[in-house]
């Protein structure tokens, strides 16, 4: 029992060291790190109907946002999972999602088209929640977001991040 206590203390203490190191490294960073708490959170759900409940996200240029996607479906993850992948304004959404269909290992994002991605969550299965925090572009415009799970974009699982 005593050994267990000692062990759990070590575990509890362990993360403190890297966190301290990170704080000390801070001045070296090119841009001031945005605290996770500073990001505005946008909640989206996706379900078995292969639609996002939210198809427009409005944001200010350069704003840091956190997109939280909850899968509210019930089908098994292998057959039905969702993500939110925000693309560059000029990305070809059809090409992008088609190329990703066979890229299961990389969450249906074709590795050679990764350069078109501004931000991407992981895939969420039924009841799971995934999120991504990122800085929206400084340039005003409409940035498409899609679910890359095969067939979902074609079914209408998409939206627009409007920066203005
Ligand atoms: Cu989906």
Q: What CATH class is the domain 35-163?
A: mainly beta
Lowest-pLDDT range, 26-30, 40-44, 85-89, 129-133?
26-30
Ion ligand 1: residues, CB within 5 A, are 82, 147, 149, 152, 157
User: Percentage of residues in the chain with pLDDT exceeding 70?
Assistant: 77
Region 37-43 average pLDDT: 89
Q: How far apart are CA 21 and CA 29, in angstroms?
A: 13
What spacing in Å lies between the alpha carbon of 20 and ligand 1's midpoint?
A: 39
3-state SS, residue 137:
coil
What spacing in Å lies between the alpha carbon of 116 and ligand 1's midpoint?
A: 19
Whether the predicted pLDDT of 16 surpasses 60: no
Q: Count the Cβ atoms, other than its own, within 10 Å of residue 121.
A: 21
What spacing in Å lies between the alpha carbon of 134 and ligand 1's midpoint?
A: 20
pLDDT for 70-101, tens place per residue? 999 999 999 999 999 999 999 999 999 999 99
Residue 124 neighbours by CB under 8 Å, 6+ apart: 46, 69, 70, 71, 81, 82, 83, 130
Please report the pLDDT score of residue 35 as a whole number.
Answer: 53
Rounded to 5°, angle at Cα 128 from 22 and 121: 50
What spacing in Å lies between the alpha carbon of 148 and ligand 1's midpoint?
A: 7
pLDDT for 49-61, tens place per residue? 999 999 999 999 9
Please report the pLDDT score of residue 14 as a whole number.
Answer: 41
Please report the pLDDT score of residue 119 as a whole number.
Answer: 98
Q: How far apart are CA 48 and CA 25, in angstroms?
A: 44
Confidence of residue 38 (pLDDT cuts 50, 70, 90): confident
pTM greater than the 0.85 cutoff:
no
């Amino acid at each position: 029992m005593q050994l267990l206590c000692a062990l759990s203390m070590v575990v509890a203490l362990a993360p403190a060291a890297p966190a301290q190191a990170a704080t000390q490294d801070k001045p070296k960073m090119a841009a001031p790190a945005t605290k996770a708490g500073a990001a505005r959170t946008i909640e989206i759900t996706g379900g078995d109907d292969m639609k996002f409940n939210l198809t427009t996200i409005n944001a200010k240029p350069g704003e840091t946002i956190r997109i939280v996607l909850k899968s509210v479906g019930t089908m098994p993850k292998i057959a039905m999972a969702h993500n939110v992948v925000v693309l560059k304004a000029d990305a070809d959404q059809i090409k992008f999602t088609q190329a990703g269909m066979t890229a299961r290992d990389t969450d249906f994002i074709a590795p050679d088209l990764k350069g078109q991605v501004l931000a991407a969550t992981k895939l969420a299965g039924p009841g799971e929640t995934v999120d991504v925090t990122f800085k929206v572009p400084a340039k005003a415009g409409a940035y498409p977001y899609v679910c890359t799970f095969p067939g979902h974009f074609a079914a209408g699982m998409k939206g627009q991040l409007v920066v203005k």
